[in-house]
């Protein structure tokens, strides 16, 4: 049976009904023209009643919404249905003066003598929306307070970070929230914490937002403070939306996490509904991002401080052990050399002695590496031109690393000279190249580049004073390091290589050299993606400066046999020094302390040279003794010796006026240093 035709209601009856309605009432024909409106509608939109008649309904909407609304109106008139107030859709109206305001509309189709019309009940919900927004803000502020306490006050950083995505999702009523953080140098994005992600969705989100370059591109060169679905839809990254839709997400908002000088990550909110993120919701996300950035920065600072303290403690222990070990090596080496003097006719014993001396040299090299890590080795910094250094390094590496490894050397033409010890810099680069080779057993690519960089501010990620630096970038395509390995990479004796294939001192030696040279070092590595190491060393203030060359060794003794005052608190070391110098015909006066040395110097005006250890136990050290001796005897020749040039000795720095002989020393090195100092006195 066919449904009865709808009852026809006259426009006059509608006019009466409109007159008693508290809401704004508008009747629209099938062409969209307003055929009836009450006084409330006129007041709401700023028109006299009669002025509304004949206008299209779209004239009461803001320009950007008119086309879409026209489509909705056609659909409604084609299949009319009642849409009561309260469950109708919300949109924006526009007053005659151009002011936009939010409205809620209920729709009803009615048959009249002029045909079907749509009756629209319109309600201005500006105040309702303000109240609703105020309540939503209060609710979000409550969540923000909880997040702030977690981020800034929680003693358990990991637990706090895991809890924050849940609070953000609840505050915004979205399906999923994820925090992506970078490594220390902003080179990779990894999921730090997340909620609402499961299975395939997790993999998809990680693959999308883990692409650092892609995310940087989304924020653009202008540095957007937020990226939404609308931003992506209007740009070149619409593919991100398609991928998100593939795992059930139709809305997204991204807010960057910024530290003071570097990107720290990104906060991502995802929803299955395309509701959009308005200004208030984005502001909430940005506030959370600021709190997260502060928390991440705090955590990193604590990690870096703990790491630095651990390395410093290891360095102090290592430096002390190396100093004592060098004294032992000096005694062993000196006595072996004294024995050799009486073994000229016993070649088989000389061979044994030579083997022992070679072992001493290996021990000396080991302590040199330890001291390099402890930042207490003796350096001879000067202005070094990077380009020829790298060219020579490239030739050497191509000969030694094999054809399976492609070596790329790049040096910008205008790179300034670097202020460093040339030999130690070369050794450091070779060490890094050898590590790269070991990480690429099947071959790969080693890239070494040099450029100038400027540190602008004192509070920078490099922890360096502002100024110009030369950056050495060393990257490989090797196996890379897991996070737990990377955390210990700079510690001495830490190695993942097979037994006998590495001492674990390579990277720690490089770290010590760079730090002692006034620079800094960073490592970024991921399993399967290789390793990138960056060294920053200061620019030389005087380009082209060169070290003064040592005078060639001489075999003959000086015409006048000099008198040498030997000061050493270690009895065995002092005895060896006295015997070695005595064997060359020098007159030697031993002293076990600085005070004893000054007394002997005062009582022996014929002393020509003071030969003192830098570390003399308690009381005056070797440098202080040398200055006091020079005060008593101006022009006195001074030669210092030490297992290291450390802070305790005070013998470091370019202003020190005394030559230093590093322990353990061969007798030829000792005598040549004595002759050189006597000649220069």
Strand partners, 92: 102
Mean pLDDT of 85-94: 66
Mean pLDDT of 90-97: 86
Q: Is residue 307 part of a domain?
A: no
Write down the pLDDT at residue 215: 65
**Where is pLDDT greater, at 624 or 551?**
624
**In this model, does residue 539 exceed pLDDT 70?**
yes
**Where is pLDDT greater, at 479 or 561?**
479
Number of H helices, E strands in the chain: 20, 22
**In this model, does residue 654 exceed pLDDT 50?**
no
How many percent of the chain have pLDDT more than 90? 18
Lookup: tokens for 552: 């060639």
Q: Is residue 418 part of a domain?
A: yes
What CATH number should be reported for the domain holding residue 99? 3.30.450.20
Mean pLDDT of 612-638: 89
Indicate the DSSP class of residue 671: H
**In this model, does residue 553 exceed pLDDT 50?**
no
Longest Cα–Cα distance of the chain, Å, equals 138
**Where is pLDDT greater, at 602 or 186?**
602
- Of the ranges 186-200, 307-321, 518-532, which is most confident? 518-532
**What whole-number distance in Å separates Cα of residue 219 and Cα of residue 263?**
12
Mean pLDDT of 660-668: 84
**In this model, does residue 100 exceed pLDDT 60?**
yes
246 in the same domain as 336: no
Sign of the dihedral defined by the CA atoms of residues 93, 94, 96, 99, in that order? positive
Mean pLDDT of 389-415: 85
Q: Is residue 298 part of a domain?
A: no
Mean pLDDT of 39-49: 89
pLDDT digits (tens, 9 = 90+) for 236-275: 566 777 788 888 888 888 888 776 556 677 888 998 887 7
Write down the pLDDT at residue 450: 93
268 in the same domain as 143: yes
**In this model, does residue 551 exceed pLDDT 50?**
no
Lookup: tokens for 336: 């072996």
534 in the same domain as 572: no
531 in the same domain as 390: yes
Write down the pLDDT at residue 473: 92
The torsion of the CA quartet 666, 667, 669, 674, rounded to 10 degrees, works out to 150
Mean pLDDT of 536-559: 54
Q: Is residue 663 part of a domain?
A: yes
Write down the pLDDT at residue 416: 92
Give the pairing of strands 444-455 and 405-411: parallel
Mean pLDDT of 562-590: 90
**Where is pLDDT greater, at 337 or 592?**
592
158 in the same domain as 231: yes
Mean pLDDT of 118-131: 87
Q: Measure the N-to-C terminal CA separation of the chain; round to a whole number of Å.
A: 127
Sign of the dihedral defined by the CA atoms of residues 107, 109, 113, 115, in that order? positive
Write down the pLDDT at residue 461: 65
Mean pLDDT of 285-289: 88
Q: Is residue 473 part of a domain?
A: yes
Final residue belonging to a domain, choices 349, 373, 397: 373
Final residue belonging to a domain, choices 522, 538, 554: 538
Tally of domains within the chain: 5
392 in the same domain as 360: no
Final residue belonging to a domain, choices 105, 124, 143: 124
Q: Is residue 288 part of a domain?
A: no
Identify which of 606, 666, 672, 653 has the alpha carbon closest to the alpha carbon of residue 330. Answer: 666
Sign of the dihedral defined by the CA atoms of residues 375, 378, 384, 386, in that order? negative
DSSP, residue by residue, 92-157: EEE-TTS-EEEEEEEEEEEEETTEEEEEEEEEE-HHHHHHHHHHHHHHHHHHHHHHHHHHHH-S-H
Indicate the DSSP class of residue 33: B
Mean of per-residue pLDDT scores for the chain: 79
**In this model, does residue 585 exceed pLDDT 60?**
yes
Write down the pLDDT at residue 90: 62
658 in the same domain as 524: no
**Number of Cβ atoms within 10 Å of the Cβ of 380:** 13
Lookup: tokens for 617: 């136990």
Range of the domain at 70: 11-124
117 in the same domain as 263: no
113 in the same domain as 149: no
Under 8 Å CB-to-CB from 4, ≥6 apart: which residues? none
For residue 118, cis peptide bond before it (omega within 30 degrees of 0): no
CB 56 within 8 A of CB 34: yes
Q: Is residue 3 part of a domain?
A: no
Q: Is residue 555 part of a domain?
A: no
Element (DSSP H or E) covering residue 382: strand 382-384
Write down the pLDDT at residue 307: 58
What CATH number should be reported for the domain holding residue 472? 3.30.565.10
**In this model, does residue 119 exceed pLDDT 50?**
yes
Which ranges of 375-499 would DSSP assign to H, the alpha helix? 386-400, 422-438, 483-486
CB 589 within 8 A of CB 607: yes
Mean pLDDT of 447-459: 84
- Of the ranges 66-75, 157-166, 442-451, which is most confident? 442-451
Sign of the dihedral defined by the CA atoms of residues 164, 168, 170, 176, in that order? negative
Q: 227: helix, coil or strand? A: strand
Mean pLDDT of 307-319: 60
**What whole-number distance in Å separates Cα of residue 634 and Cα of residue 627?**
10
pLDDT class for 319, splitting at 50, 70, 90?
Answer: low
> φ, ψ for residue 578 (rounded to 5)?
-60, -45
**What whole-number distance in Å separates Cα of residue 425 and Cα of residue 423?**
5
Lay out the sheet containing 609-613: strands in order across: 587-591, 563-567, 609-613, 637-642, 659-662
Which ranges of 341-454 would DSSP assign to H, the alpha helix? 347-374, 386-400, 422-438
* Planar angle of CA 250, 254, 258, nearest 5 degrees: 170
115 in the same domain as 135: no
Weakest mean pLDDT among 201-215, 365-379, 438-452: 365-379
Q: 464: helix, coil or strand? A: coil
Write down the pLDDT at residue 548: 34
**Number of Cβ atoms within 10 Å of the Cβ of 374:** 29
**In this model, does residue 221 exceed pLDDT 70?**
no
pLDDT class for 73, splitting at 50, 70, 90?
Answer: confident
CB 568 within 8 A of CB 576: no
Weakest mean pLDDT among 47-56, 250-259, 439-448, 467-476: 250-259
For residue 664, cis peptide bond before it (omega within 30 degrees of 0): yes
Place of tokens 């510690």: 491
**Number of Cβ atoms within 10 Å of the Cβ of 141:** 13
pLDDT digits (tens, 9 = 90+) for 482-509: 877 777 676 654 555 554 444 444 577 7
**In this model, does residue 5 exceed pLDDT 80?**
no
324 in the same domain as 273: no
144 in the same domain as 54: no
pLDDT digits (tens, 9 = 90+) for 137-181: 888 888 888 888 888 877 777 788 889 999 999 988 899 998 887
**In this model, does residue 647 exceed pLDDT 80?**
no
Place of tokens 């080179």: 187
What CATH number should be reported for the domain holding residue 143? 3.30.450.40
Write down the pLDDT at residue 503: 44
**In this model, does residue 640 exceed pLDDT 90?**
yes
**What whole-number distance in Å separates Cα of residue 314 and Cα of residue 529?**
30
């Amino acid at each position: 049976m066919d449904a009865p035709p709808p009852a026809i209601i006259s426009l006059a009856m509608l006019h009466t009904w409109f007159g008693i309605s508290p809401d704004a009432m508008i009747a629209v024909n099938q062409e969209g023209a307003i055929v009836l409106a009450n006084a409330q509608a006129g007041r709401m939109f700023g028109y006299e009643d009669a002025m509304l008649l004949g206008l299209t309904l779209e004239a009461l909407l803001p320009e950007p919404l008119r086309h879409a609304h026209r489509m909705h109106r056609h659909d409604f008139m084609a299949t009319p249905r009642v849409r009561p107030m309260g469950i109708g859709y919300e949109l924006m109206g526009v007053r005659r003066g151009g002011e936009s305001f939010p409205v809620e509309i209920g729709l009803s189709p009615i048959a009249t003598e002029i045909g079907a019309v749509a009756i629209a009940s319109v309600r201005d919900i500006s105040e309702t929306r303000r109240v609703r927004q105020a309540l939503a803000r209060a609710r979000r502020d409550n969540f923000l307070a909880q997040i702030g306490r977690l981020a800034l006050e929680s003693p358990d950083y990991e637990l706090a970070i895991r809890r924050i995505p849940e609070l953000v999702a609840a505050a915004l009523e979205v399906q999923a929230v994820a925090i992506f953080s970078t490594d220390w140098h902003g080179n990779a994005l990894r999921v730090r914490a997340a909620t609402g992600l499961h299975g395939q969705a997790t993999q998809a989100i990680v693959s999308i937002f883990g692409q650092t370059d892609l995310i940087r591109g989304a924020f653009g060169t202008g540095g957007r403070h937020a990226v939404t679905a609308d931003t992506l839809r209007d740009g070149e990254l619409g593919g991100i939306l398609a991928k998100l839709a593939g795992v059930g997400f139709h809305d997204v908002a991204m807010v960057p996490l910024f530290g003071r000088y570097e990107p720290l990550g990104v906060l991502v909110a995802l929803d299955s509904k395309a509701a959009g993120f308005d200004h208030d919701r984005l502001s909430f996300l940005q506030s959370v991002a600021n709190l997260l950035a502060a928390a991440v920065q705090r955590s990193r600072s604590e990690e870096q401080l703990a790491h630095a303290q651990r390395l410093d403690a290891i360095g102090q222990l290592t430096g002390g052990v190396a100093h004592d070990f060098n004294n032992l090596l000096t005694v062993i080496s000196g006595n072996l050399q004294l024995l050799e003097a009486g073994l000229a006719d016993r070649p088989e014993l000389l061979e044994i002695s030579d083997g022992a001396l070679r072992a001493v040299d290996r021990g000396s090299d080991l302590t040199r590496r330890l001291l390099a890590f402890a930042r207490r080795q003796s350096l001879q910094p000067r202005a070094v031109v990077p380009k020829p250094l790298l060219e020579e390094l490239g030739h050497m590496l191509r000969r030694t690393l094999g054809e399976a490894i492609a070596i790329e050397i790049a040096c910008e033409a205008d790179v300034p000279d670097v202020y460093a010890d040339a030999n130690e810099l070369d050794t450091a680069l070779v060490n890094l190249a050898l590590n790269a080779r070991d990480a690429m057993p099947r071959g790969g690519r080693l890239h070494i580049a040099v450029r100038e960089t400027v540190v602008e501010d004192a509070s920078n990620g490099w922890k360096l004073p502002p100024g110009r630096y030369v950056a050495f970038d060393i990257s490989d395509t090797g196996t890379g390091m897991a996070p737990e390995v990377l955390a210990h990479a700079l510690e001495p004796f830490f190695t993942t290589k097979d037994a006998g294939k590495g001492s674990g001192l390579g990277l720690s030696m490089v770290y010590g050299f760079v730090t002692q040279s006034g620079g800094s070092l960073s490592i970024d590595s991921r399993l399967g993606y290789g390793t990138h190491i960056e060294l920053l060393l200061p620019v030389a203030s005087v380009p082209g400066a060169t070290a003064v060359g040592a005078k060639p060794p001489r075999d003959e003794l000086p015409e006048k046999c000099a008198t040498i005052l030997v000061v050493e608190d270690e009895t065995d070391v002092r005895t060896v020094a006295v015997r070695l110098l005595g064997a060359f015909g020098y007159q030697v006066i031993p002293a076990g302390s600085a005070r004893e040395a000054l007394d002997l110097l005062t009582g022996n005006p014929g002393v020509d040279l003071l030969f003192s250890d830098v570390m003399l136990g308690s009381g005056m050290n070797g440098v202080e003794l040398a200055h006091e001796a020079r005060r008593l005897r101006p022009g006195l020749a001074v030669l210092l010796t030490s297992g290291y040039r450390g802070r305790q000795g005070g013998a470091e720095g370019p202003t020190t006026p005394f030559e230093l002989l590093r322990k353990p020393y061969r007798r030829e090195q000792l005598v040549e240093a004595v002759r050189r100092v006597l000649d220069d006195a």
